């Protein structure tokens, strides 16, 4: 019986502590990605994205176990979030102005032929609404700062303000990439005050 790889335990980039901002180097990782815009609580586009990502992710997991002899736990849902007006994200929290890319990490041992075959199998079986919008892409973030947020998604603003306006400038850094969230809890089964979310921000050294 094949051992099951759990990337949440194996990758340092899935580790964070509440109340601690940590600087780390995140390795290049491959993801299933799908883009969208608007409030994730009400957007049909967002719901369709998740309805399409998860069947494909589990199809790849089962194909890996069956055909490659390598089993793994499907990693947690992740999201890149941004807005032309970042105040709409960090302070006003105006979700109607948000852009996003929702993602699920895929092991590097799954090759393109396996991926293409599983996409076709999922399409034939369940016809996910946004399957055709999903792409397999490598995300290169490099140096990042991250922390663990405990509580509801709507209560992130204070932590983000500390990250953006205190920790990053005080350590001679600037923000370089998109705000990244990793959802360690299932909101369908977890009370809002107990949700665990990694908040990550790619950074670089300030040059002047």
Closest CA to 113 of 68, 178, 75: 68
pLDDT digits (tens, 9 = 90+) for 87-125: 555 655 677 778 999 999 999 999 999 999 999 999 999
| CA distances, 142 to each of 26, 31, 119, 120, 184 (Å) | 5, 15, 29, 33, 21
CA 79 – CA 87 distance, rounded (Å): 18
pLDDT digits (tens, 9 = 90+) for 143-194: 999 999 999 988 998 999 999 999 999 999 999 999 999 999 988 899 999 9
pLDDT digits (tens, 9 = 90+) for 10-59: 999 999 999 999 999 999 999 999 999 988 888 899 999 999 999 999 99
CA 109 – CA 29 distance, rounded (Å): 12
* Spans of all domains in the chain: 4-205
What 3-state class would DSSP assign to 39? coil
pTM higher than the cut 0.85: yes
The DSSP letter of residue 68 is: I
What superfamily does domain 4-205 belong to in CATH?
Regulatory factor, effector binding domain (3.20.80.10)
Check residue 93 and give its pLDDT.
63
Contact 148, 17 (CB under 8 A): yes
| CA distances, 203 to each of 132, 161, 180 (Å) | 32, 15, 12
């Amino acid at each position: 019986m094949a051992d099951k790889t759990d990337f949440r335990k194996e990758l340092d980039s899935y580790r964070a502590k509440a109340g601690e901002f940590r600087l780390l180097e995140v390795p290049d990782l491959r993801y299933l990605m799908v883009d969208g815009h608007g409030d994730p609580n009400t957007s049909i586009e967002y719901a369709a994205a998740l309805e399409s990502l998860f069947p494909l992710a589990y199809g790849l997991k089962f194909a890996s176990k069956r055909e490659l002899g390598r089993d793994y736990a499907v990693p947690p849902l992740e999201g890149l979030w941004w807005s032309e007006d970042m105040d709409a994200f960090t302070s006003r929290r105006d979700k109607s102005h948000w852009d996003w890319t929702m993602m699920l990490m895929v092991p590097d041992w799954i090759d393109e032929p396996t991926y293409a075959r599983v996409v076709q199998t999922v399409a034939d079986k369940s016809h996910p609404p946004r399957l055709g919008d999903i792409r397999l892409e490598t995300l290169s973030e490099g140096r990042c700062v991250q922390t663990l947020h405990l509580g509801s998604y709507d209560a992130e603003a204070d932590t983000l303000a500390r990250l953006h306006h205190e920790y990053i400038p005080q350590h001679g850094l600037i923000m370089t990439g998109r705000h990244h969230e990793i959802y360690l809890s299932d909101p369908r089964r977890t009370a809002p005050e107990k949700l665990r979310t990694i908040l990550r921000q790619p950074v670089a050294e300030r040059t002047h």
